[in-house]
Amino acid sequence: MPNTFIHPENILPDVVHGYTSVVVSTGNKMVHCAGQVSMDAELNIVGDNLAEQMAQCFKALGIALAAGGATPADVVRGRIYIVDYNVEMVPTVIEQTAAFYGPGEPPPSTLLGVQSLALPGLMVEIEATAVLDY
């Protein structure tokens, strides 16, 4: 396994909040995925709430990772951009993130509140970087 997950003491507990604080990667192939939004291949916005839009973003991210030969388990860095973010959204973010990454340790991730995304109606955008050992 090219990635070592580290949970330093004396900083904000990470895994309970849906991310890991530090990952050390030793692999030799990196897969950089652009931010994925909640649109299907026909350019329709999918979902009218944060949970549904995050699920679509993660579906698209899974497809993008696979195109580069990676899986969610290979992700070492993620960023989530949410329009009009507020703290009440945290449980949804944790739930949807856990559903995508599954059991085990989630990657380091940054959650950013933004004013808007590329198109009206988009609530969330998710990007990731993966590292593989081949």
pLDDT tens column, 23-64? 898 888 999 999 999 999 999 999 999 999 999 999 999 999
For position 65, what pLDDT does the model report? 96
Residues 111, 67: Cα–Cα separation, whole Å: 25
The pLDDT tens digits for 67-96 are: 999 999 999 999 999 999 999 999 999 999
The pLDDT of residue 127 is above 70: yes
Report the relative pairing of strands 109-114 and 29-37 from DSSP bridges.
Answer: unpaired
Q: What is the pTM of this model?
A: 0.90
pLDDT band at 10 (very low <50, low <70, confident <90, very high): confident
Domain ranges in the chain are 3-132
Q: At what angle do helices 90-101 and 50-67 cross, to 10 degrees?
A: 30
- For 84, the token pair is 């009009």
The torsion of the CA quartet 90, 8, 31, 36, rounded to 10 degrees, works out to 10
CATH of 3-132, one of 3.30.1330.40, 3.40.50.300, 3.40.50.2300, 1.20.58.110: 3.30.1330.40
- For 110, the token pair is 């940054």
Amino acid at residue number 33: C
The pLDDT of residue 17 is above 80: no
| CB-CB neighbours of 132 under 10 Å | 19
